[in-house]
Structure 1
C-alpha cells in the first residue's frame, strides 16, 4: 500500500486528509474513516492509521481526515452535530482521488458513528453503500445514570465487602449522596424526543444499508448505547435487523487499545467489506 496527503476544501476552508491506497487497482468501494472528537486523523494509539493501512493492504482505498478546526484543517472547531459539510467534502475528495472508486462506506467510532447516522438522516447520499459503527454515542444525563446504576452500582450493592464497609463507616456520606443522585437521575426520560438520539435512529431506519455494529465489552459508551436502544421506542427492532452484523468484543475498551482487539477490529471490518465488494 502507499499513502499520500489529500488536500481538499469545505465551504472555503482547507481540509487535510491522508489517503491509503493499494499498489494495484482498488476495489470499487472506498472507506471514509470519520474521526470522533476531539482528536485528529491518527486516532487514539494510531488506531485509524493502522485501520486505513490494513484496509489498503487488502485492496480497499481508505481516507482519514481532520474536520474543520481539528488537526491540520483550517476553520472553527465544531462538534459531531455540525460536520455534515465536512463529511460531504471528504466523500467528494475520496471519490475524485481515484477513478476506480464508485461507492463509499462510512466508518466511525463513538460520536463519529453518531455523526454518520445524523449525516444520512439529514441528507441521504446514494454514494454511501454501508456503515461501520463502533460504540455509537447516545449520551444523555438519564442514560448515563442508568448505565452506572446497572453496570457499576448494581454489582457494588451485591458485594458483601460494600455492606461491611458501610456498616463500619468506611463509605462516606458524599459517596452515598452520589449514589442517590445517580439513582434519581436514572429515573428520568430515556431521551429527549427532539434530540440527536432520535435522529440517529431515523437515519439508521432510513438508510436500509448494510451495517456493521462493533461493540466493546468493557466500555460504558457501548453499554449506554445498548441500554438506550433497548428502552427507546425509536430504536425498537433496529439492532436485530437482518442487514445488521453485530460483533461484540469482550474485554475491549472504548478505543480497542489492546493490540489483539485492534487487530480483530481491522480484520472484522475487512471481511465485512469483502461481502459488500470483494477486492480485485
Structure 2
C-alpha cells in the first residue's frame, strides 16, 4: 500500500511543535499517535518510531509521531512526562486535521511516554486505546526490589560473575554496599503523597478504552511494572480485566532494539488496533 509522509507544524501554548504523519492511501478511521519517552525525539532509538509509523501505515492505519515542546525540532521549554497534556492535545488536534477521516486515536508510548499517555487518556474522548511498552512506574523502593529480585539473582547464576569475583576484578565490598543500600530503599516507609503507580492506576481505572501492555523480558523497567502488577491487588484486578491485552517478549531490552523484536511489536500493535 502506498503511503504519504507529511511534515506538520502546529501551535501549543505559544510555541510551535513539529511532527510527521504517515498516511495510507486508504486510511482506517482509527489512527495511532506515538508518544515519545525519555530524552528522545520523534524518530526514536534506532529509528523505532519512524519504522513503527511506516509499518502501521502500510497496514492502512494512519500514524503520527511528534516532538514535545523543548525536544527535537519543537520550540519551548523542556518539560517532564507529567506536564505534556497540552502537547498531546495539540498533537491529536493536528493529527485529526491531517487525516480528516479519523474518528479516534490510540496512544502508543514507551517508558515514560507510556506513562504520559496513560495519565492523559481519560481527559480526551478521542482516545480509544493505549499501547504501553515497558511503562514507567518508578519509585525508589520499587526499583530496589526489582533490582534485587531480577538483576542480582540473575548475576549469581552467571559464570562471568564468578570468574570476575575469583579473579579479583570485582569490587566485592562495593557490590555488597550497593546491595545493602537497595535493601534499605526497599524497606523504607512509603511517602504519604500518592506515588506514580497510584496515580497511573487511578488514571487507567478511569479510562474507558482498551489497553495493550507489552513488556521486554530483559528490561528492568518492564520487570518493575510486572512486579507491581502481580503483587498489588488493585493493579492485578485492573490488568486482568477483559479490556486489557498483555504481551511479553522474552529477552527483549527496553527499546526492543533488535529487528525481530521491533517487528513483533509492530505486528502486535497493528493486529490489535484493527481487531476492534
* TM-score exceeds 0.5: yes
Q: Is contact 2:132–2:214 with CA below 8 Å preserved after alignment? A: yes
Aligned counterparts of 1:221 and 1:200: Cα–Cα separation in 2: 15
- Stretches of structure 2 that go unaligned for 5 or more consecutive residues are none
Q: Is contact 1:138–1:197 with CA below 8 Å preserved after alignment? A: yes
User: Does the residue aligned with 2:275 lie in a helix, a strand or coil?
Assistant: helix
The equivalent residue for 2:207 is 207
Q: Is contact 1:33–1:106 with CA below 8 Å preserved after alignment? A: yes
Instruction: Give the superposition deviation at 1:231.
Output: 3.0
Any idea what the Cα deviations from partners look like across 1:49-78, whole Å, max 9, x if unmatched?
Answer: 000000111111111000000000000001
Q: Is contact 1:140–1:191 with CA below 8 Å preserved after alignment? A: no
The equivalent residue for 2:275 is 275
The equivalent residue for 1:263 is 263
TM-score, structure 2 normalization: 0.92
Match of 1:2 among 4, 19, 28: 4
- Stretches of structure 1 that go unaligned for 5 or more consecutive residues are none
The equivalent residue for 1:17 is 19
In the TM superposition, 1:168-183 aligns within 5 A as 172-183=172-183
Q: CA RMSD in A?
A: 2.2
Change in CA separation of 1:263 and 1:208 when aligned onto 2, cut-off 3 Å:
same
In the TM superposition, 1:84-163 aligns within 5 A as 84-121=85-122, 124-157=123-156
Q: Is contact 2:138–2:196 with CA below 8 Å preserved after alignment? A: no
User: Does the residue aligned with 1:213 lie in a helix, a strand or coil?
Assistant: strand
Aligned counterparts of 1:248 and 1:189: Cα–Cα separation in 2: 31
Instruction: Give the superposition deviation at 1:236.
Output: 3.7
Q: Is contact 2:219–2:252 with CA below 8 Å preserved after alignment? A: yes
The reply to whether residue 28 of structure 1 matches residue 29 of structure 2 is yes
Any idea what the Cα deviations from partners look like across 1:115-148, whole Å, max 9, x if unmatched?
Answer: 0111135xx2111111111000011111111011
Q: Is contact 1:142–1:186 with CA below 8 Å preserved after alignment? A: yes
Any idea what the Cα deviations from partners look like across 1:244-273, whole Å, max 9, x if unmatched?
Answer: 110111111100000011011101100001
User: Does the residue aligned with 2:94 lie in a helix, a strand or coil?
Assistant: helix
User: Does the residue aligned with 1:33 lie in a helix, a strand or coil?
Assistant: strand
User: How many pairs are equivalent?
Assistant: 273
Instruction: Give the superposition deviation at 1:150.
Output: 0.4
Q: Is contact 2:31–2:62 with CA below 8 Å preserved after alignment? A: yes
Q: Is contact 2:217–2:248 with CA below 8 Å preserved after alignment? A: yes
Change in CA separation of 1:90 and 1:179 when aligned onto 2, cut-off 3 Å:
same
Q: Is contact 1:165–1:171 with CA below 8 Å preserved after alignment? A: no
